[in-house]
Amino acid sequence: MCLKEITNKIRSMSLEEKIGQLNQAGLWDFELLCEEVRKGRVGSVILADSATAGNDEQQRVIIDQLNELQRIAVEESPSHIPLIFGRDIIHGYRTVLPVPLAAAASFNPDVVEKAYRAVAYEAANDGVHWTFSPMIDISRDPRWGRCIEGFGEDPYLTSKMGQSVIRGFQNADNKKGDSIAACAKHYLGYGAVEGGRDYGKAEISEYTLRNYYLKPFKAAIEADVATVMNSFSEISGQPVVSSRYLLHDLLKDELGFRGFVISDWAAVAQLVTQGVAKDRKEAAALSANAELDMDMVDGCYIDYLSGLVAEGKVSEETIDKMVYRVLYIKEKFGLFEHPFITRQKIDYQEHLELSKQCSDEVITLLKNKDVLPLDRSKKIALLGPFLHEKRSLLGSWTWDFDIRMVKSIAEVFEEYAGRELLVFPQSNYLWDDIIPALGDVDTVILALGESYRVSGENNCLANIDLPKEQLELAKRIKGLGKKVIGVFCFGRPIGLGEADIYFDAILYAWQAGTCAARSIVDIIYGKVNPSGKLPITFPRSTGQIPIYYNYHTMPRNGMGYYGEGSNYLDCCSTPMYPFGYGMSYTKFAYSEARCEKTALTLEELKNGKKFKVGVTVTNTGEYDGKETVQCYVRDLLATMARPVRELKGFSKILLKRGEFKEVVFELGSEELGFYNGKGEFCVEPGEFDIFIGGDCTTNNKIKITAVSETEN
């Protein structure tokens, strides 16, 4: 069906049929749903059983149910328009990938894209047309459980990772049956909720909104994301779900978004709870007039839009525009041509390999006092609450997995180095058992972590320091004079200020999916050289939050955070580990940053000319390894306070022992400009420091100048 035919189709539909397309229903009563579909009252079905699907087990997708619903829609409903089936395929299906925050630690969009392509195929093969992913909310607060679902604190990294996930889910054709429509969420500013409390309010200025929280959505639209989901939160008193400025003027008119907006779970009805709608009817009017296109499961649209149109409170023209967007996406993803699904055979081995490539590259080595990699012949002891764990290695927001594909850390160690292991069972650790059992073993692997149940939606923590019982275990093992290698399987960053001293090595394994344990063991024995870099700042303790690398210099020198001076009397101002940081088993040497031409006029920049700033990176160590070369920009003098650094480029390169490569970053208006407080993008004259190095604290810099015409 071409776009003109969509318009004609809409003209032929009754108002009730149109409103039916804007209603997403749940699948908890199959017979009732069949009746609703038959009457043309349903445009989409969400394959989730509860409001916090990420935390609860979910019914598996039953293809026969989907095909029967689709048959009724296509053959028996008044408009014969196919349904679009949506499900939260956040970071895996049968094959599970690292949680998204971990995926960002790979700094490798290509590896992530390929892995998400495999996940899209698995989901599409089960009849899922649409996923509510990627979540691209910038987050600077690890207390917020949903920080694991996003890609960290930086707009540029989040933009690149969000685009790679969208490209993974959606392919150029979109009609080959191996892609699913993606959904950029949660628009907008959800990650800024106060105190890391989920669903809370966010106070965000236009200045911050445009320079941080909006950027990943702009990038998602450039990647042609099919749908967008609103955030539950309110921005400075305005609930997003009823904001015409945010949902229509900014998202659709200014950014050119052509797909449709789906509400978050019952977000329309929740306007009543938020005290901005007196009842569900008024809530429906507010959201429809904001052009929130589809209503998830609360029935406000299907119950009231017809009456609201009759009362002149919502125009039929508005309904037509919303319906057009929905049909446009259904057409784009081939639902009219291929409404039914026939399952194909899948080679899961190939998908596992892609998941393993991801988990290899996300695991981040934070500390190594010459203990890693281990020699396979060395006798070691394995201890800790995560040693035999499987489910939590997969993280929150995943239920379609096959747990038989998952091995525990202990199982993989035993496969790899069986005879030289002292493996402690999963039981209460009785010290009078451990101490004699450890005997002369001088190296202990401590497998630590958090349950997937304490991150994700509405699972926020007031204290994100290493759990006390795990800290105690580390202290006591260290107290025996052993070398302690910590393997940390947490979804979020944790406060390591008190714990760090008890570890000789810290391997932050995140919750890295189906192949997590295989990657952990391969890295410990040096089969894989770790290359992860932190996508989010690691505080020393909860009290430092929020602490992030792209902060604004404070008015009094020495009062900055992230290392300048101190803000607290009882804590130094540096983070435990900075944004972009991660070690390798090898060493990388950086040449001084250099630049072809260190001055360009504003006119040249406006005409697309760019600064070319580069370095030569050499592998000077004993192992082949991957390094993420990072480029940061600092605007030294501007009409608004600007961050001390902003990531504007990164390149992950493989260097064999002794090899060197040149890495060049091109910086133009997009990278040097910013949105002022009035939402205007501006590139101002003046000097910029360009930093290139292995993390955000690098001082390898070069100065460039944007010259105004008057100075020239």
Nearest to ligand GLC of 154, 457 (CB atom): 457
Nearest to ligand GLC of 51, 422 (CB atom): 51
Tokens of 261: 């907006």
Q: How far is the CB of 459 from ligand GLC (least distance, A)?
A: 12
Helix (H, G, I), strand (E, B) or coil at 691: strand
Nearest to ligand GLC of 37, 266 (CB atom): 266
Cα dihedral 12, 16, 17, 18 in deg (nearest 10): 80
- DSSP one-letter string for 402-424: -GGG---HHHHHHHHHGGGEEEP
Residues 251-270: x/- map of binding to ligand GLC (CB under 6 A)? -------------xx-----
Q: Hey, which bits of 497-624 come out as E strands?
A: 505-508, 588-590, 594-595, 599-601, 611-619
Tokens of 52: 């916090």
Tokens of 274: 């938020």
- When CB distances to ligand GLC are compared, the closest residue is 132
Q: Which of 185, 483, 642, 652 forms a contact with ligand GLC (CB under 6 A)?
A: 185
DSSP 249: I
Q: Nearest-CA neighbor of 122 among 199, 61, 50, 37? A: 61
Residues 415-454: x/- map of binding to ligand GLC (CB under 6 A)? ----------------------------------------
| Pairwise CA distance, residues 112 & 117, whole Å | 9
Nearest to ligand GLC of 296, 423 (CB atom): 296
Alpha helices in 464-551 (DSSP H): 468-479, 516-524
Is 298 among the residues that bind ligand GLC (CB under 6 A)? no
What are the CA-CA distances from residue 103 to residues 106, 250, 367, 391 (Å)? 6, 29, 20, 18
Nearest to ligand GLC of 104, 383 (CB atom): 104
173 a catalytic residue: no
Size of the site for ligand GLC (CB under 6 A): 9
Nearest to ligand GLC of 302, 515 (CB atom): 302
Q: How far is the CB of 54 from ligand GLC (least distance, A)?
A: 7
| Pairwise CA distance, residues 159 & 157, whole Å | 5
Verify cis geometry, omega within 30 degrees of 0, for the bond prior to 373.
yes
Stretch that binds ligand GLC, among 48-56, 441-449, 625-633, 697-705 (CB under 6 A): 48-56
Region 456-475 residues binding ligand GLC, contact defined as CB under 6 A: 457
Residue 103 sits at φ, ψ, to 5 deg, of -55, -35
Q: Are strands 588-590 and 611-619 parallel, antiparallel or unpaired?
A: antiparallel
Q: Are strands 227-230 and 84-87 parallel, antiparallel or unpaired?
A: unpaired
Nearest to ligand GLC of 53, 583 (CB atom): 53
Q: Which of 15, 51, 255, 640 forms a contact with ligand GLC (CB under 6 A)?
A: 51
The residues near 377 (Cβ < 8 Å, ≥ 6 apart) are: 420
Q: How far is the CB of 258 from ligand GLC (least distance, A)?
A: 21
Stretch that binds ligand GLC, among 46-54, 238-246, 493-501, 524-532 (CB under 6 A): 46-54
Q: How far is the CB of 132 from ligand GLC (least distance, A)?
A: 3
| Pairwise CA distance, residues 596 & 612, whole Å | 6
Nearest to ligand GLC of 106, 230 (CB atom): 230
Q: How far is the CB of 397 from ligand GLC (least distance, A)?
A: 8
| Pairwise CA distance, residues 411 & 17, whole Å | 55
As to burial, measured by CB atoms within 10 angstroms (0-12 exposed, 13-18 middle, 19+ buried), residue 191 is: buried
Nearest to ligand GLC of 43, 625 (CB atom): 43
Q: How far is the CB of 176 from ligand GLC (least distance, A)?
A: 25
Provide the β-strand partners of residue 649.
631
Tokens of 489: 């399987």
CB 653 within 8 A of CB 665: no
Helix (H, G, I), strand (E, B) or coil at 675: strand
Is 53 among the residues that bind ligand GLC (CB under 6 A)? yes
Nearest to ligand GLC of 47, 633 (CB atom): 47
Q: How far is the CB of 91 from ligand GLC (least distance, A)?
A: 12
Helix (H, G, I), strand (E, B) or coil at 141: coil
**Helices 300-310 & 280-289, crossing angle to 10 degrees?**
80
Stretch that binds ligand GLC, among 47-55, 377-385, 484-492, 495-503 (CB under 6 A): 47-55
| Pairwise CA distance, residues 351 & 363, whole Å | 19
Q: Which of 93, 107, 121, 132 forms a contact with ligand GLC (CB under 6 A)?
A: 132
The dihedral through the CA atoms of 187, 226, 17, 266 has a sign that is negative
Region 362-421 residues binding ligand GLC, contact defined as CB under 6 A: none
The active-site residue out of 88, 154, 264, 360 is 264
Q: How far is CA 356 from the centre of its chain?
A: 18
Nearest to ligand GLC of 51, 255 (CB atom): 51
Helix (H) or strand (E) segment spanning residue 704: strand 701-707
Q: How far is the CB of 457 from ligand GLC (least distance, A)?
A: 6
Q: Which of 17, 36, 88, 234 forms a contact with ligand GLC (CB under 6 A)?
A: 88
Q: How far is the CB of 165 from ligand GLC (least distance, A)?
A: 14
Is 627 among the residues that bind ligand GLC (CB under 6 A)? no
| Pairwise CA distance, residues 511 & 395, whole Å | 5
- How many CB atoms within 10 Å of residue 461? 18
Q: How far is the CB of 296 from ligand GLC (least distance, A)?
A: 7
CB 126 within 8 A of CB 93: yes
Nearest to ligand GLC of 185, 280 (CB atom): 185
Residue found under tokens 């290359």 = 531
The terminus-to-terminus CA distance of the chain in angstroms comes to 56
Is 48 among the residues that bind ligand GLC (CB under 6 A)? yes
Alpha helices in 296-444 (DSSP H): 300-310, 316-332, 348-362, 409-417, 431-438
Is 234 among the residues that bind ligand GLC (CB under 6 A)? no
Q: How far is the CB of 88 from ligand GLC (least distance, A)?
A: 5
Nearest to ligand GLC of 89, 534 (CB atom): 89
Q: Nearest-CA neighbor of 663 among 617, 694, 696, 611? A: 617
Rama region for 291: left / alpha / beta (φ>0; ψ in -120 to 50; rest) = left
Q: So which residues are the catalytic ones?
A: 264
- Residues of this chain that bind ligand GLC (CB under 6 A): 48, 51, 53, 88, 132, 185, 264-265, 457
